Structure 1
């Protein structure tokens, strides 16, 4: 049975903190919906209605583009071990980039991560759990290091060049404003 919440309870927070993977979904007013798996130590619950997600450089920057047009965002966690559970967080998100007023305080909440691109600050409007009984069991074997290795090899300036070449627009041609990053 599903249950709707108006906040992240302590039980939901404990579930979130135990997960190794989560999924982020955003959509512009028209165009493609983006749904991406995320991992690493990149998610923080700040309060019962506020979370942060540290985003690293990737092949696209769809979330940033979508939130500029339509700030709706959904985060989904699902249990791959122990009791079945699916948790969706529904909210409004905004991008925080290096140089923004809150960057220095918020980046301190995460481990130093090569290729860090932005932080998404999400106000949670509601949360919903559902059974997850159809989700198979999977065993966590560890984090992948390829992205971190690549980012270290690029260096900060190389990453900025990559953003300028590959992360300026969504796949639907929407701007991401990443090149304005300091």
Structure 2
């Protein structure tokens, strides 16, 4: 049976720590934005308290979670665990998260140089304030046997940290990201698929030659392209405002009678409103 809590029950903490994979889900504030779900592996999840958790965010071609957490007024995050062996269970952590980029005091405090979770390619810590916890049955989730971790991501980014490969100590890379790693971020982590800014260190807007992720053939929800799209459709705020004002005035004037007087008054008002909003009508 499902149950809800205001914090992580102590009885569930050992079970959470045993899980080998979890998922994070987020979305931009715009209703036209894209909902994202990302799987996470490795020993990267930490329960700081019954109401606070964090995980190590590894470098990859995607950066949707970071974009959504950085969006002003957003930060909404859901983390999901489920049982693949033993009794069935699904657990969700609901809350708001903050991004602590690599080479910041918060990142280095949570992941000091000798921490084994400080893996090659680590680009941020995602800190989440847990506001709600929910459990459900998970009766339809199949059984899976854990065989082992995939080392490929760590192996891939080891050279980016200027480490010998394979490295016997994955926590020995420098605190400051190398130029090679920063170049990768600038190439692939600058924006989200909805055009939101991505990893702060990647820069925004994207540099020339960066991989552009904003979807083709649909309205981009944010930025200059969104403004241009609204202008093409004739729905800029200025035009809407002028239409509303003129509609009210015409209705009032028509009620006063006298077509010539109405025409003169409306023309004068059109010029005043156009000057106020900077429209070329003026």
TM-score, normalised to structure 1, is 0.95
Alignment gaps of 5+ in structure 1: none
- Which of 101, 107, 111 aligns to 2:105? It is 101
- Structure 1 stretch 149-158 or stretch 67-76: which is displaced more? 149-158
Q: Give the C-alpha shift of residue 10 in structure 1.
A: 1.4
- Structure 2: how far apart are the matches of 1:14 and 1:132? 18
Report the equivalent of 1:78: 82
The answer for the alignment partner of 2:22 in structure 1 is 22
Q: How big is the shift at 1:88?
A: 0.2
The answer to whether 1:149 aligns with 2:155 is yes
Secondary structure (helix, strand or coil) at the match of 2:29 reads coil
- Deviation, structure 1 residue 78: 0.2
Aligned to 1:116: 122
**Range with greater deviation from structure 2 (101-110 or 160-169):** 101-110
- Greater helix proportion: 2
Task: Select the residue among 36, 39, 43 that pairs with 2:38.
Answer: 36
| 8 A contact 2:102–2:122 mirrored in 1 | no
Residue 153 of structure 1 and its aligned partner are, at CA, apart by 2.2
Structure 1 residue 6: deviation in Å? Answer: 0.5
- Residues 8 and 133 in structure 2, CA contact (< 8 A), matched pair in contact too: yes
Q: Highest CA radius of gyration, 1 or 2?
A: 2
Aligned to 1:161: 183
Q: CA deviation at 1:11?
A: 1.5
Aligned residues: 181
Counterparts of 1:150 and 1:104, CA distance in 2? 23
Q: Say whether 1:91 aligns with 2:95.
A: yes
Q: Which residue of 1 aligns with 2:264?
A: none
Tell me how far apart the structure 2 counterparts of residues 177 and 153 of structure 1 sit (CA, whole Å). 21
- Does the Cα contact within 8 Å between 2:190 and 2:202 map onto a contact in 1? no
Contact 1:164-1:179 within 8 A present in 2 as well: yes
Q: TM-score, normalized by length of structure 2?
A: 0.62
Secondary structure of 2:87 counterpart: coil
Change (3 A) 1:110 1:71: farther
Contact 1:164 1:178 in 2 (8 A): no
Detail structure 1 runs of 4+ shifted over 3 Å in the superposition. none
CA–CA distance in structure 2, aligned partners of residues 36 and 75 of structure 1: 10
User: In the aligned structure 2, how far is the partner of 1:8 from the partner of 1:165?
Assistant: 38
Q: Which has the higher contact order (CA 8 A, sep 6+)?
A: 1
